[in-house]
Amino acid sequence: MDRFERFEPLENARLVHHYITNMVDKAEDNLPYWLLLPNKKPAEAAHCRVDDAELVGSWYEGLCCAMEMLGTNDGDDVKQSLRRHLMKSWGEHGLRFCEPYPWTHTVHASFHEMGYILPALNKIVEEYPDDKEAEKRTSELIRGMRSLVIERKVRTFWSGDFPEPEPLYEFPNDVYLKDGGFDLTRHTGRCEQSIRNALMLHALARRYELKHDETALDLAIGIANDVLGPSRYFNYKMEFFGHVHSAAWFACGLVYLGRLIHNDTYIEKGKAIYDYIRSLSSSFGWVPEYAQWHPPEEEHCETCCVRDMILCARELTKCGYDCYWDDFNCFARNQLVENQIRYTGYVTVDNTKPDADGITYRDIDKRMVGGFTGGSEPNSISLQRFRSIAGCCVGTAPTALKEVWDNAITEENGVFVVNVPMDKEIDALILSSALPNEGKLSLTAKKACRAGFRLYGWMGDDLAFTINGKPAEVTRDGKTATADLNPGDTLVLAFNVETREEKETVAGRTFTVLWRGCDVVDLLPRGEHVRLYQRDNDAPKYYPTPDDVVYTGAVNYGPTQQKGGAK
């Protein structure tokens, strides 16, 4: 048995697949439960409006990603339920609203939520090219949103009128009522409308890449220009004050859009946003939920933000910035997977209580395995915090897992390069990794090819390459080392791995990070309730008991997170 836990993303995919397919309401055609209260006695999951808004989109995409990684059709019943939910509740201007469930209150569409609906529609259109309904809804949603924007055409100033040279689009509000349209006396209360409404940028770029949809491109450019310009959301260094998830996802979309249309300004500004968020984050992937809204020591890490940074790092590598492969690898194998729930012995369950009024109590401890936290500290998940486990993160995390899985080995110009040390088999190669237990990576060729490894600073300078046990000559090209392999050849990269301690200030506190290669195996001081980075299999594990987790009373949804209201 390995002494230290290894990075095994297929296991994380299996766990989140379990969560998504079980934390649903069978009586409501597998409608998701966003709200989970594991510290309540007994624990419960409850419906709220967002279940039939954002979640039917993000959980569809997330479940697809997990199923594709696992190569399974298990869970297709839930997937098709989510697809049916997505195809309901469409209204004027092509917007998707929500069903009037008892917990819904005001029926409305949020442009922020369209940032989750549109990726799911893209996924359906891509997977089911004959689904005319999905194509119709996708096209109408994009054109409907384009018809609703304010288009700034002229800058009227004291010194004269000046035509705007580029498209500038903004939505009049962040809420569109099903009965009433734009009512400017209503808002979500989240503020930051320009960046929150721009969450759809990445999905618009994806639609353009998939279908050459010029309206999607036009809307994407107009939104990008408005956020970068008149909104004044970012300063000249692309720093900001506010919601990291929205800004990071926008940055990812901006780099993606820039790459598609060869706009270097978009790429550079997206990179600058990423770099600013990175300056607030840890080397192992703890990313704050907000920038400069709270004292650093009060910040928590939303898994959605980690996902955004992983996707944006990959986009930046596609633009030639190879240095971001390190973040892509380290963020995924550390904080992303640590934010997943694997142990639930501290949960109090009462299976005698019947499900009623949109609340379920049944087997919560078993069903919640595989969920992702909406707010971790660097060393722990506090179960008393609202969104200790969050439905939004459950949908987005699998997209990061799949991005890492798909890009563990990449091929360019006929050369295969290992970017992420893990175990994986593709048509041409079998990759195995001994990290963090040993500094050893192996590639076995299934057919003649040229292949090798991306070289990272944490590998050190003492690198040894062998083919079939004999010293090998490799070709170094920048940060990669490759060799020609015949069928059956095994190329091995060996390097020194020892536990090293590094001091790092994260969330306003100083931690001692214990690294082995690119894996964090412990973090001091250790946290509670659910301690993270317990990766030494030889050390006793610490988990809370039900008595350690105290329910403090009614959930505080906060002024911007009212139950049944706009999430």
Give residue 554's pLDDT: 52
Between CA 464 and CA 473, with CA 469 as vertex, the angle to 5 degrees is 50
**Cβ contacts of 487 within 8 Å, gap of 6 or more:** 445, 446, 447, 448
Residue whose C-alpha is closest to residue 208's, from 260, 253, 146: 260
**Strand-pair partners of 513:** 502, 523
Compute how many other C-beta atoms are within 10 angstroms of the C-beta atom of residue 77.
13
Compute how many other C-beta atoms are within 10 angstroms of the C-beta atom of residue 191.
13
pLDDT at 386 over 70: no
Whether a cis peptide bond, with omega within 30° of 0, leads into 546 is no
Per-residue tokens: 546: 């039900």
Per-residue pLDDT of 41-63, as tens digits, reads 999 999 999 999 999 999 999 99
Q: Which of 215-219, 247-251, 388-392, 424-428 has the lowest mean pLDDT?
A: 388-392
Q: How many alpha carbons lie under 13 Å from residue 436 in its C-beta half-sphere?
A: 25
**Maximum alpha-carbon separation in the chain:** 77
* Radius of gyration of the chain, Cα coordinates, nearest whole angstrom: 24
Residue span(s) of the chain under CATH 2.60.40 come to 410-494
Mean pLDDT score, 517-524:
97
**Cβ contacts of 302 within 8 Å, gap of 6 or more:** 244, 245, 287, 289, 374, 375, 387, 390, 392, 393
Strands (E), 286-363: 290-291, 359-360
Give residue 162's pLDDT: 95
Between CA 424 and CA 427, with CA 425 as vertex, the angle to 5 degrees is 150
Mean pLDDT score, 125-144:
97
Mean pLDDT score, 141-151:
98
Higher pLDDT: 205 or 1? It is: 205
pLDDT confidence of 544, banded at 50, 70, 90?
A: confident
Per-residue tokens: 402: 């799949």
Torsion of CA 507, 510, 516, 522, to 10 degrees: -80
pLDDT at 551 over 90: no
Q: Which of 10-24, 69-83, 492-506, 532-546 has the lowest mean pLDDT?
A: 532-546
pLDDT at 487 over 80: yes
**CA 183 – CA 177 distance, rounded (Å):** 7
Q: Measuring CA to CA, how many Å separate 170 from each of 18, 50, 147?
A: 39, 23, 11
> 2.60.40, 3.40.50, 3.30.160, 2.40.10: which CATH number matches 410-494?
2.60.40
